Amino acid sequence: MNVNQSVPPVPSFGQPQPVYPGYHQSSYGGQSGSTAPTIPYGAYNGPVPGYQQTPPQGMSRAPPSSGAPPASTAQAPCGQAAYGQFGQGDVQNGPSSTVQMQSPLCFLSFHRLPGSQPFGSPLAPVGNQPAVLQPYGPPPTSAQVTAQLSGMQISGAVAPAPPSSGLGYGPPTSLASASGSFPNSGLYGSYPQGQAPPLSQAQGHPGIQTPQRSAPSQASGFTPPASGGPRLPSMTGPLLPGQSFGGPSVSQPNHVSSPPPQALPPGTQMTGPLGPLPPMHSPQQPGYQPQQNGSFGPARGPQPNYGSPYPAAPTFGSQSGPQPLPPKRLDPDAIPSPIQVIEDDRNNRGTEPFVTGVRGQVPPLVTTNFLVKDQGNASPRYIRCTSYNIPCTSDMAKQAQVPLAAVIKPLARLPPEEASPYVVDHGESGPLRCNRCKAYMCPFMQFIEGGRRFQCCFCSCINDVPPQYFQHLDHTGKRVDAYDRPELSLGSYEFLATVDYCKNNKFPSPPAFIFMIDVSYNAIRTGLVRLLCEELKSLLDFLPREGGAEESAIRVGFVTYNKVLHFYNVKSSLAQPQMMVVSDVADMFVPLLDGFLVNVNESRAVITSLLDQIPEMFADTRETETVFVPVIQAGMEALKAAECAGKLFLFHTSLPIAEAPGKLKNRDDRKLINTDKEKTLFQPQTGAYQTLAKECVAQGCCVDLFLFPNQYVDVATLSVVPQLTGGSVYKYACFQVENDQERFLSDLRRDVQKVVGFDAVMRVRTSTGIRAVDFFGAFYMSNTTDVELAGLDGDKTVTVEFKHDDRLNEESGALLQCALLYTSCAGQRRLRIHNLALNCCTQLADLYRNCETDTLINYMAKFAYRGVLNSPVKAVRDTLITQCAQILACYRKNCASPSSAGQLILPECMKLLPVYLNCVLKSDVLQPGAEITTDDRAYVRQLVTSMDVAETNVFFYPRLLPLTKSPIESTTEPPAVRASEERLSNGDMYLLENGLNLFLWVGASVQQGVVQSLFSVSSFSQITSGLSVLPVLDNPLSKKVRGLIDSLRAQRSRYMKLIVVKQEDKLEMLFKHFLVEDKSLSGGASYVDFLCHMHKEIRQLLS
């Protein structure tokens, strides 16, 4: 019903209520009802008579459970020991993610914005209308109120039901009782006392039951819940999906289920937030009276089935005014679940292909498997935007604070079912472009004057069509050959570039790979050099090649180094390789040209001989010092002399302390953490590395760095060159051949074999009204428009932020064109073009309806991770929180229906923004734990900078997969559960992955047969903790788990090393670090706490 609708006059809370025969109902305000026996209630703020004061012994910690927690643990009644056993000062790191706060917090409400209805228009009430409505009394005084942010569960975690329409959520099939105490939060503090939210009615919502206190006088009016689920107490006010309120989990004769929901007409949208519930009471229960907590602190309440009543407590007299609400614990099942959102998107959008013909369509989530049909806009595999409907004016964009950004992955690899971009050859004339803005021909260009001219869609300039490109137009004004030309009908395609697009106006030579191997004592001692040389013998057969080429055009060279450099002549005419030593590292030069870079097949015998000899030559070395900058200089000079682009593969073990350019000192200082100088830990020690990177980019020399440190190596400085040249950094701390061989070799194979574009320049053009202003990723920029990449592979992204420089037009929308000029592995110069058309809007609601949270988080993480280079980490964290609060407050103020300030209302598309943002804030870069090294933080920081949306999604919110829940014969991935310790059952095993790490957690009560099948030992205690390889056993469970691990690894760009973690083992702390919905040891908030904190921030902005 509408907030503003008048309600029939009924008695207020201070008056006697109508009572139904056969149902005991307690009175309000101490007055007795007409037929019900009077049962004295304690005052709302006072303790309750008849309760025991302390929880019974032996119930200090409920066992963790997976899936929906049973009523006895996760969803215990108010004050139950499962959540209420910790005092206000206690720190709890157990399974319960209790929100501890004194808060006038209210309800979560999720908006699917209406398509056709104006905001605030009333909807027909949902469900059966009860005979009597309870009105709300006058608003409670602030001192009396402790409201609640109450449950909302999407599609019911208890038993998921199919969604109603689009991204909507239907009613849960069964409801579990969800309530508990909501004590004071140690992390964010309590809310201001004066901000008690007024209460408001909610309007209808598709698929949401809105039960009222209705007369269950007939048996037919009583609908029992689905089997196994506890029944709902009768209550006033609307019920959120999947939510039910306190009361025992045992079935009681007076637990009344709400009337079944009636379906709304199709397409009906939710127009209002779900309002808070008015004060309510639980029906009488045998054994103990309903609990009424005081306003402050947790209630130390009873367990069901434990007798021993409380000693009598005084009541403080009935208050004549309205009564404050009892504090409620925010039920983790009642807040937006990433797992549910991902699952719903898979079900709704994973079956049909995503056709790109329509402007401004929001694609399926990155977690959904879907096929793409290119019909004029680039596939979301190449470009994803934070919003597909952008504000027409800069004022509107500033008001909303939603960053307008695109995450572009120009060389993304496509699944085998999708065709690679077509290559278009226009001969010597080259690709057709606009004369003014130089945009390339694309499907949005408008042909006029019978096809003799075209109008540029980016700058509106009128251009002549060259005679050889002329074609007649059909009756719609389209060229008759539009569907025969990729550049007129597809969103992504390639042009062969002419000589004008090449350096020095001559076509490039094929690129080269140079392997540069550290042969200092550390590298030899660990067995790294021997392992690497053995692998390279076979790996050189798998260098990247063009399409159908029989062999790769790439040439290879070899250098070894410690304090000096050793170059090798591997010319095919030699019987043995020749070694040349350069000891003058201050003035680096390449001692040979002919015979350094060779064709693998021609020089195979000499190369094999060299790789056999290197480990023997340096076997007895005692040299521990290394150089670094001269090694890269040498590789770059070699490429320059050969007049080609290429890639250096550097295998390095220690801090370069030898006397040479780029010499570093150990500056690792944990005391700088949380000070203003913390940013220096992320900055390079010396400018030599940036200067070197700039020279490398000019030469098209990309650097991939493989690090094998035993101690601090200053990743922040060493990673500068890979970062600015478009390369990658791989890190294997405390490398041991037996433990890390598989991970290193897998990463190396993938890195050497992947297709790379060399000597690349990328430019993003936009239609009039917006322009690209900021860029994030692994590249170098010498001006404000061109992104220069010595190398670019299929895993790297460039994130681009746009700002308004003029007003946009709703009709024409906005256009982006990303053009990448690069040299292919065969030495061919090409242009890859991606086009995307976006909608423009004059209503904020349209912006919020078309956002993509995963892309937004990708952008925000990169923005923050760059921010730590120049600002204190705390300032960066505060900026993120403020921006998120502004985005949600703007939605609340301008798009949501008027409702109580105590309600937290989130847009449908952004309901996961708080949980994901909290994961970014708790990440090692922004909030390091004691065990995280400075090098680890720098490593993760540069890694995230060029991640795509799918990688950041799983990196910040890891996947947790239960292994024994799904049938053994099932070949599909088991459904994930939420990343919280509360979801772990000690009788199960779980795989957790985040793209870099892979854990197998084994519960202490796992069945003996399962342990035997998987680990080939007879009991839990015999499993080796920290095991990294599962034994290969011939049984269905072993095959299934090993198959699942292989499939997870295949989805990620880096090999994830397995770590087996036993419950209650010392390694479990490392595993728990990735359970991101829980409070972290480093002080990061739990999801529940952070949601409360965000709500407080939003309210402050609105007030």
Residue with tokens 């929180």: 881
pLDDT at 675 over 80: yes
Provide the residue type at 94 as one letter: G
How confident is the model over 31-53, as a mean pLDDT?
A: 38
pLDDT value for 3? 39
Cα(844)–Cα(841) distance, rounded to whole angstroms?
Answer: 7
Residue 581 vs residue 87, higher pLDDT: 581
Q: Name the most confidently modeled range: 89-103, 220-234, 257-271, 1022-1036.
A: 1022-1036
pLDDT at 407 over 50: yes
How confident is the model over 519-548, as a mean pLDDT?
A: 94
Backbone angles phi, psi at 737, to 5 degrees: -55, -45
pLDDT tens digits, one per residue of 146-157: 333 433 333 333
pLDDT at 327 over 90: no
Both tokens of residue 1066?
Answer: 């010392």
pLDDT value for 211? 35
Question: Among the listed ranges 96-105, 526-535, 826-835, which one has the minimum average pLDDT value?
Answer: 96-105
Beta bridge pairs of residue 462: 455
pLDDT value for 324? 54
pLDDT value for 329? 64
pTM of the model: 0.74
pLDDT value for 970? 82
pLDDT tens digits, one per residue of 212-256: 333 333 333 333 334 333 333 333 333 444 443 333 333 333 333
Question: pLDDT confidence of 197, banded at 50, 70, 90?
Answer: very low
Question: pLDDT confidence of 296, banded at 50, 70, 90?
Answer: very low
Both tokens of residue 133?
Answer: 């409505």
Q: What percent of the chain has pLDDT over 70?
A: 70
pLDDT at 300 over 60: no
How confident is the model over 981-986, as a mean pLDDT?
A: 94
pLDDT value for 965? 83
pLDDT at 900 over 50: yes
pLDDT at 173 over 50: no
pLDDT tens digits, one per residue of 693-723: 999 999 999 999 999 999 999 999 999 999 9
pLDDT at 159 over 90: no
pLDDT value for 1103? 86
DSSP for residue 140: P
* Closest C-alpha to 934, from 925, 923, 945: 925
pLDDT at 204 over 60: no
Which whole-number Å values give the CA distances from 100 to 92, 96, 984, 1045, 1090, in the listed order?
10, 11, 22, 38, 11
pLDDT value for 897? 87
Q: At what angle do helices 913-921 and 949-956 cross, to 10 degrees?
A: 80
pLDDT value for 1081? 87
N-terminal to C-terminal alpha carbon distance within the chain: 26
Chain center to CA of 378: 22
Question: pLDDT confidence of 969, banded at 50, 70, 90?
Answer: confident
pLDDT tens digits, one per residue of 285-295: 333 333 333 22
How confident is the model over 150-172, as a mean pLDDT?
A: 35
pLDDT tens digits, one per residue of 62-82: 444 444 433 333 333 333 333
Residue 613 vs residue 313, higher pLDDT: 613
pLDDT tens digits, one per residue of 1077-1095: 999 988 899 999 999 999 9
Residue 173 vs residue 804, higher pLDDT: 804
pLDDT value for 276? 39
How confident is the model over 991-997, as a mean pLDDT?
A: 96
Q: What percent of the chain has pLDDT over 90?
A: 65
Q: Which residues contact 1039 (CB under 8 A, 6 or more apart)?
A: none
Question: pLDDT confidence of 277, banded at 50, 70, 90?
Answer: very low
Question: Among the listed ranges 63-67, 472-476, 484-488, 561-565, which one has the minimum average pLDDT value?
Answer: 63-67
Residue with tokens 């045998």: 286
Cα(182)–Cα(196) distance, rounded to whole angstroms?
Answer: 15
pLDDT value for 203? 35
Question: Among the listed ranges 41-45, 330-334, 1074-1078, which one has the minimum average pLDDT value?
Answer: 41-45
Provide the residue type at 887 as one letter: I
* Closest C-alpha to 157, from 266, 267, 65, 259: 65
pLDDT value for 899? 83
pLDDT value for 717? 97
pLDDT value for 546? 83
DSSP per-residue letters across 593-624: STTTSEETTTTHHHHHHHHHHHHHHTTT----
How confident is the model over 411-433, as a mean pLDDT?
A: 95
How confident is the model over 1042-1046, as a mean pLDDT?
A: 95
Sign (positive/negative) of CA torsion 485, 487, 492, 496?
positive
pLDDT value for 402? 97
Beta bridge pairs of residue 839: 389
Q: Which residues contact 620 (CB under 8 A, 6 or more apart)?
A: none
How confident is the model over 56-67, as a mean pLDDT?
A: 41
pLDDT at 121 over 70: no
pLDDT at 43 over 90: no
Question: pLDDT confidence of 89, banded at 50, 70, 90?
Answer: very low
pLDDT value for 548? 76
pLDDT value for 32? 39
pLDDT value for 50? 39
pLDDT value for 966? 82
How confident is the model over 645-655, as a mean pLDDT?
A: 97
Q: Name the most confidently modeled range: 305-309, 333-337, 948-952.
A: 948-952
- What value does the mean pLDDT of the chain take? 78
pLDDT value for 744? 97
How confident is the model over 861-873, as a mean pLDDT?
A: 96
Which whole-number Å values give the CA distances from 455 to 436, 447, 462, 828, in the listed order?
11, 6, 4, 31
Q: Which residues contact 248 (CB under 8 A, 6 or more apart)?
A: 77, 177, 230, 285, 304
* Burial zone of 507 (CB within 10 Å; 0-12 exposed, 13-18 middle, 19+ buried): middle
